[in-house]
Structure 1
Amino acid sequence: MSTSEPAGRGTAVVIGGGMAGMLAAWALRGHARRIIVIERDHYPEGPQFRAGTPQARHAHLLLEAGHRLLEQMFPGIRDELVAAGATMVPMASGLRWLGPAGWMARHDADIAFLSCTRALLDHVIRQRVRAAPSIHFEQGTNVVGLTGGPYVVDGVRTVARGTGVRRVIDAEMVIDASGRSSALPRWLEELRCPPVAEERVDPNVIYLSRLFDRDPDTDPGFGALYLQTRAPLHRGTGSLLPVENGRWLCSLGSMAETEKLSGEQGFDTLLSRMRDPILRETIAGLTPAGDIRGFRPGVSVRRHYQRNAPDGLVVLGDAETNFNPVYGQGMTAAAFGAHALHAAVAGVGGIGHDAARVARAQVAAVSRDPWLMSAGEDARFPQTIGGPSGALARWQHRYLDRVLSHATHDAAIAAAFTRVMSLLDPPTTLLRPRVLAPVLLGIR
């Protein structure tokens, strides 16, 4: 049975109602007559965690490039989030950042990141999206397959959770934004589509996180804290981020991790692996505001749907490229993808197959640099499976090591590196003369 006019003309289906799905639906407003978001969960009424996003209980931040795009898409959203408890943390003055070579130098930069729980960010954006008259939601529904054939996708097959009612929804465009657990490769195989090329990197990461009540009478001397690894000697990473309701969110990670760490003992083990005691000292004596939560994100994958996906299909967010979460790129990359989708449908003038082809190419283009950055860093650990290797990768690592060393005392280089990590500038900007000359010549 179909819920749309024949062949689904004018209808776009978005699989997944998380961050990437919400942004995709919003990006299609004004270009699709009807946008149907299919979400397997039922949304909570307020900013609460839900089962379908287990990663949401861990540190999330929206980088400068991401919240600039979010403000462009949803004017006033930054003020709305801050009013709801989010914090804008200036990268130069508010973040204490221990890089692989030492503490980042103080520098002048109009760059910040937005810090709050993922639950709050999802809720505020969801409220905006659900108010759009052309966007409709089917909650408590699983997508179990696609309709069409090897060359064209023209709809989805669904099953309602609980009742088992099966439906077919025709669509002119199908967007998979279902995240890391996307079943799209299997669905395409069922349609006898050729396999999609993949790049895979497995850094074997584990995370443990806990909320703490902040002490309003104590100034820790920073707005947020970020401790990076120093491969291959150290594999622990930690962050302390301000979130709503007067709390800190402490997330600890470990690379190349094979131990089954959990609970208080696991949390203390990861704390002991931090390169500096500042994180342990800051949370010592604070009151926990929740249980310790664990998460293994699994293998990072980049899928090249731009090469041979069938017409009518676009893939966004973690379903297209998912990263090691330690670098904080995921939500900003999802915003890049949604912006690319909007540019494609606006440029073509609709949601047809031409728009889908353009969107796939543009989404792949905007996910390339974040992927190269995260995969390149993961490859520093000898236990990592996959990732760039060879002479070029070794040269890049050596050069970046020198950049990071200079960033501990050279404000200009620290500022340039911060812009790259904030996804405002491509990594190639670190090869410009202002950075290249002092790094290669050893000028201090």
Structure 2
Amino acid sequence: MTTSEKALGRGTAVVIGGGLAGLAAAWALRGRAERLVVVERDHYPAEAVFRAGVPQGRHAHLVLEAGHRLLEEMMPGIKQELTAAGARQVAISEVKWLSSAGWMAEYPAQMSFLSCTRPVLDKLVLDRVRTAPSIEFLEGTDVVGLLGSAGVVRGVKVRERGPERGEVREIPAELVVDATGRSTSVPKWLAELGCRPAPEERVDAGVAYSSRLFHRPVGVDLGAQAVYLQTKAPDAPRMGVLLPVEGDRWIVSLAGMRGAEPDPGEAGFTKHLDGLRDPLLREALRDAEPAGEVRGFLPGPGVRRRYERGGPDGLVVVGDAASTFNPVYGQGVTVALFCARELRRTTLRHDGIGHAAARDARRAISAVSKDPWVMSCAEDARFATTTGAPAGALLALQHRFLDKVLAGATRNPVVTKAFHEVLSLVEPPSLLFRPSVLGAVLRG
């Protein structure tokens, strides 16, 4: 480490974006910087309500097992707070899960996930982050550019939002964290500084969402707490999920890959529901009273930006701004928490927020996003309408093996358990090749 890097070990860190990824990153950096500033374009609502700055917030979200373990580790007691706010802990064994091979085998699963609407999760995380005196918030403020040069980011340019927009002012910083999600402008701002663009991988299945909240009918029994009807390539590119949320409600999200997108509005929602592989969701909702309007969402392509390959000093990118996945696989929130964990680990290891810590953080964040990205892209590649997907003999071999795994998961609880652990990001995909699992898969 050079003398200049040691001098940059502390100082100011700016987090662009005060959504879940940004809040988790700010919490991870407390104590590592003398000053922490979160710049958020919205004004946070006083209550747990949907807000425009989180367009995906009206759709089904869950925190995978690996994610809620990490969230509890980062913010002890948060799980109890979420439960008190109405979040439901759903055991994997309480999910009726129709994979491409059939219904998952039942077994007494130890794993679970937390299910609530996105505003509840965001509000409780925000409340926790606000307890840190070292973290300050600039609400109703846009970041309009970066300070620095081709090799180093040295801060941000900000301006208040509103009809009478203020003057652009500068916030110098030793570390800038981009947590602005799918709509990030950082690549454009880096180009303005003369930086080389970060290498990108881009896969687009053309997925579109349609979601609605329902009051749970009195006395209804699904035989489970949640329902997940997956797609099946190539002839069934539609999926549907039902999750229990606070207020004794269900959130139901329907999705379709390119060419099978839900039509807008209530009529489109009903039509898509009728086109699912199994009638379970349609029957469950027959007597359910809607608790809100139908909402659509076009998430756009999956993108993985490789900032670890020569990104400028002074910059770390987290969450969807670094790697955004097809949301049908439910990985986004958990991977954002992984990013925060790696940011915490690297700044602790380097005892500060200097350039060496940022470089290590970029490498670590890339590493923890790799497996979710590969799993997401491999599944998207099954659909002929997907653009940018991987191809070749190796992918075909992976598909054949996963088909055997899924077939095994419909009959053998050993395989089902292993598959759930991999999908919940608790274990790496290599778990499927351990002798006890592989033997069960190959035996059929």
**TM superposition score normalised by structure 2:** 0.96
How far apart, in 2, do the equivalents of 1:155 and 1:33 lie? 15
Query: Matches of residues 51-200 of structure 1 in structure 2 within 5 Å?
Result: 51-92=52-93, 94-162=94-162, 163-165=164-166, 166-200=168-202
Deviation at 1:217, TM superposition (A): 2.4
Question: 1:379 is matched with which residue?
Answer: 381
3-state DSSP of counterpart to 1:284 = coil
Correspondence 1:324 to 2:287: no
- Aligned AA for 1:335? L
- Aligned AA for 2:78? I
Tell me, yes or no, if the aligned pair for 1:203 and 1:255 is still in contact at 8 Å. yes
Deviation at 1:257, TM superposition (A): 3.0
Question: 1:246 is matched with which residue?
Answer: 248
Deviation at 1:161, TM superposition (A): 0.5
1:119-147 CA distance string (max 9 Å, x none): 10000110111121000000111111100
How far apart, in 1, do the equivalents of 2:359 and 2:99 lie? 40
Tell me, yes or no, if the aligned pair for 1:198 and 1:303 is still in contact at 8 Å. yes
How far apart, in 1, do the equivalents of 2:309 and 2:46 lie? 40
- Aligned AA for 2:329? Y
How far apart, in 2, do the equivalents of 1:69 and 1:365 lie? 17
Question: 1:45 is matched with which residue?
Answer: 46
Tell me, yes or no, if the aligned pair for 1:7 and 1:171 is still in contact at 8 Å. no
Tell me, yes or no, if the aligned pair for 2:10 and 2:32 is still in contact at 8 Å. no
Deviation at 1:88, TM superposition (A): 0.3
How far apart, in 2, do the equivalents of 1:374 and 1:34 lie? 37
Deviation at 1:273, TM superposition (A): 2.2
Tell me, yes or no, if the aligned pair for 1:61 and 1:328 is still in contact at 8 Å. yes
Question: 1:3 is matched with which residue?
Answer: none
1:284-338 CA distance string (max 9 Å, x none): 1110000000001011100000111110100000000000000000000000000
Deviation at 1:107, TM superposition (A): 1.8
How far apart, in 1, do the equivalents of 2:118 and 2:218 lie? 23
Deviation at 1:190, TM superposition (A): 0.3
Tell me, yes or no, if the aligned pair for 2:415 and 2:441 is still in contact at 8 Å. no
Question: 2:3 is matched with which residue?
Answer: none
Query: Matches of residues 292-441 of structure 1 in structure 2 within 5 Å?
Result: 292-440=294-442
Question: Once structures 1 and 2 are overlaid, which stretch shifts more, 430-439 or 303-312?
Answer: 430-439
How far apart, in 1, do the equivalents of 2:271 and 2:386 lie? 21
Deviation at 1:352, TM superposition (A): 0.7
Tell me, yes or no, if the aligned pair for 2:405 and 2:441 is still in contact at 8 Å. yes
Deviation at 1:8, TM superposition (A): 11
How far apart, in 1, do the equivalents of 2:278 and 2:33 lie? 52
1:411-430 CA distance string (max 9 Å, x none): 00000000000000111211
RMSD of Structure 2 on Structure 1 (CA):
1.3
Tell me, yes or no, if the aligned pair for 2:262 and 2:269 is still in contact at 8 Å. no
Tell me, yes or no, if the aligned pair for 2:10 and 2:353 is still in contact at 8 Å. no
Deviation at 1:436, TM superposition (A): 1.9
How far apart, in 2, do the equivalents of 1:292 and 1:352 lie? 46
How far apart, in 1, do the equivalents of 2:239 and 2:132 lie? 40
Percent of residue pairs bearing the same amino acid type: 56
Tell me, yes or no, if the aligned pair for 2:418 and 2:432 is still in contact at 8 Å. yes
Deviation at 1:7, TM superposition (A): 8.7
Tell me, yes or no, if the aligned pair for 1:108 and 1:415 is still in contact at 8 Å. no
Tell me, yes or no, if the aligned pair for 1:235 and 1:273 is still in contact at 8 Å. no
Deviation at 1:388, TM superposition (A): 1.4
In structure 2, stretches of 5+ residues that fail to align are 1-6
Tell me, yes or no, if the aligned pair for 1:13 and 1:37 is still in contact at 8 Å. yes
The size of the alignment, in residue pairs, is 436
How far apart, in 2, do the equivalents of 1:217 and 1:326 lie? 29
Tell me, yes or no, if the aligned pair for 1:8 and 1:155 is still in contact at 8 Å. no
3-state DSSP of counterpart to 2:239 = strand
